[in-house]
C-alpha cells in the first residue's frame, strides 16, 4: 500500500498509525467523522483521492473505527506499533527441539 499522509508527512512523528491509499479513497471523510480521538482534520480539498489529514497521530488509540467506517476497501489502514506486532512463537517450534 502506498504510504501517503499528505502535506504533513515530513512532520509526522515516529508513531504513524494511519496509512491512506489515495488511489482508493473517495474523499467522503467518514473516517474523520468516526474518530473519537480527533486524529484527523479536513484536508485542503475534498473529493476522490483526498482523504483527511492525520494531523494528531499520537492521539490514536488504535480502535479501528476509521477503518471499519471507510466505505472504500483498502483506502485506509491501521498500522499498529511494532512492539504490538510481535508474535510469540514457542522456541521448540522454531528449533524443532
Ligand atoms: S484507529 Fe480509532 S483513534 Fe485511531 S485514527 Fe482510527 S478512529 Fe481514530
Ligand atoms: S473513509 Fe475511506 S474513502 Fe472516506 S475519506 Fe476516509 S479513507 Fe477516504
pLDDT higher at 25 or 86: 25
The response to whether residue 78 sits with its C-beta less than 6 Å from ligand 2 reads no
Could you give the CA distance from residue 91 to residue 97 in angstroms, rounded to a whole number? 8
Residue 12: band (very low, low, confident or very high) from pLDDT cuts 50, 70, 90 = very low
The response to whether residue 34 sits with its C-beta less than 6 Å from ligand 2 reads no
The response to whether residue 75 sits with its C-beta less than 6 Å from ligand 2 reads yes
Could you give the CA distance from residue 41 to residue 53 in angstroms, rounded to a whole number? 5
Could you give the CA distance from residue 27 to residue 11 in angstroms, rounded to a whole number? 22
Nearest ligand, CA of residue 80? Answer: 1
Could you give the CA distance from residue 14 to residue 37 in angstroms, rounded to a whole number? 18
Query: How many whole angstroms from 16 Cα to the centroid of ligand 1?
Result: 11
| Interacting residues of 93 by C-beta distance below 8 A, sequence separation 6+ | none
Residue 61 scores a pLDDT above 70: yes
pLDDT higher at 61 or 88: 61
User: Which residue of 6, 29, 52, 68 sits with most ligand 2 atoms within 8 Å of its CB, as the best mutation to test the pocket?
Assistant: 29
pLDDT higher at 94 or 69: 69
Amino acid at each position: 500500500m502506498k504510504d501517503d499522509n499528505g502535506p504533513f508527512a515530513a512532520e509526522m512523528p515516529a508513531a504513524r498509525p494511519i496509512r491512506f491509499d489515495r488511489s482508493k479513497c473517495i474523499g467522503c471523510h467518514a473516517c474523520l467523522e468516526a474518530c473519537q480521538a480527533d486524529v484527523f482534520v479536513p484536508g485542503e480539498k475534498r473529493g476522490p483521492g483526498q482523504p483527511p489529514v492525520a494531523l494528531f497521530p499520537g492521539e490514536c488509540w488504535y480502535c479501528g473505527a476509521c477503518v471499519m467506517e471507510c466505505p472504500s476497501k483498502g483506502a485506509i489502514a491501521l498500522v499498529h506499533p511494532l512492539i504490538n506486532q510481535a508474535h510469540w512463537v514457542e522456541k521448540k517450534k522454531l528449533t524443532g527441539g
